[in-house]
Amino acid sequence: MNRKNHPLAVVIGGVNIDIGGVPFSPLIPKDSNPGRVTVSLGGVGRNIAHNLRLLGVEVTFLTALGDDLFAPRVTASCHELGIDISRALRESGSATSVYVYLDDADGEMAVALSDMAICDRITPAYLAGQKDLLDRAGVVVADTNIPAESLLWLAENCAAPLFADPVSTVKAKKLLPVLRRIHTLKPNRLEAELLSGVPITDEVSLFRAARALLDSGLERAAVTLGSGGILAADSRAIELIPPCPAQVRNATGAGDAFMAALVWSFLRQEPFSAACRAAAAAAAITIESPETVSPALSPDAIRRRISPASDPEA
């Protein structure tokens, strides 16, 4: 399939109302900390879909919404962004997901709490009803907020390349039975350690973990290492890619921008190393924004952040 003739990305996963707090000074545990509280739309799946639209990719978003006051806000935002949410589940008597997080004063997440029970409604039966859509997609992106059996159904029935975001070490376990069917995986160091079965203590063990992931049948892995950069691994090479410099304002959402840029680059048929450099640039742009999804993200913004030698357009 020529991906340039099939640019549609189908994103499957969670949407949240994000309630976040940032203290004005270093966080004091078990105490009331003066700071700033914001309410915005989030969720790994929704954030990836939003970032993809900023990069000009056509997106259909499969998710589950409740019948509370938050659901119309999600729907209106998706319509405004050009995200097709017409096939989302609408669950009567259920609550839309809520995610509450607290950052340190330096912008790094200190603790978070999520109430995402409604994502359990994204079942294999629901996905089977979307088979026509999935078959038309150039790529399908799933986060692990959906049930393990739904990830298994996608792995066994999805004709399009399947990208997976582990989300967290707890939820990443759902991917163990389906690694061999995943095209591109975006784990962090802890998630890569869990999914590979290799303790990562240094660069040698990091490369060994990447090789173990590829040996499982996985086609590509982009292991995010924070300030250590990215380990890009596929059948051609395993290489460390340096991070894109950034002034951290809010680290929440950087991984979602990273995944979106991987998808964008894939649909443009870019080499994986170039895709990881573009993804690092997208993450850097997001980290510098107080918002979970940076309105400054665009193809031109990514190209300005990466060196000419690494520029996918060069």
Report all structural domains of the chain as residue ranges with CATH numbers, in order of start: 3-305 (3.40.1190.20)
* pTM for this predicted structure: 0.89
CA gap 281, 276 in Å, rounded:
9
Neighbours of 269 (CB within 10 A): 11
Amino acid making up residue 145: N
Please give the sequence-ordered ranges of beta strands (E in DSSP) within 31-108, or none if there are none.
35-42, 59-62, 64-65, 89-90, 97-103
- Residue 312: predicted pLDDT: 42
- Residue 310: predicted pLDDT: 43
Taking CA atoms, 58 is separated from 78, 159, 264, 275, 304, in Å, by 12, 18, 10, 18, 23
- Residue 314: predicted pLDDT: 37
Amino acid making up residue 147: P
CA gap 165, 188 in Å, rounded:
10
pLDDT per position in the chain (314 positions), as tens?
A: 444 555 899 999 999 988 889 999 999 999 999 999 988 898 999 999 999 999 999 999 999 999 998 999 999 999 999 999 999 999 998 999 988 889 898 878 899 888 899 999 999 999 999 999 999 999 999 999 999 999 999 999 999 999 999 999 999 999 999 999 999 999 999 999 999 999 999 999 999 999 999 999 999 999 999 989 999 999 999 999 999 999 988 888 999 999 999 999 999 999 999 999 999 999 999 999 988 899 999 999 999 998 644 444 43
- Residue 143: predicted pLDDT: 97
Q: Which of 165, 138, 173, 142 is nearest to 155 (CA)?
A: 142
- Residue 307: predicted pLDDT: 63
Contacts (Cβ under 8 Å, ≥6 apart) of 131? 157
CA gap 194, 182 in Å, rounded:
16
- Residue 1: predicted pLDDT: 45
Quick check: 304 and 285 in contact, CB under 8 A?
A: no
241: left (phi over 0), alpha (psi -120 to 50) or beta: beta
CA gap 289, 40 in Å, rounded:
14
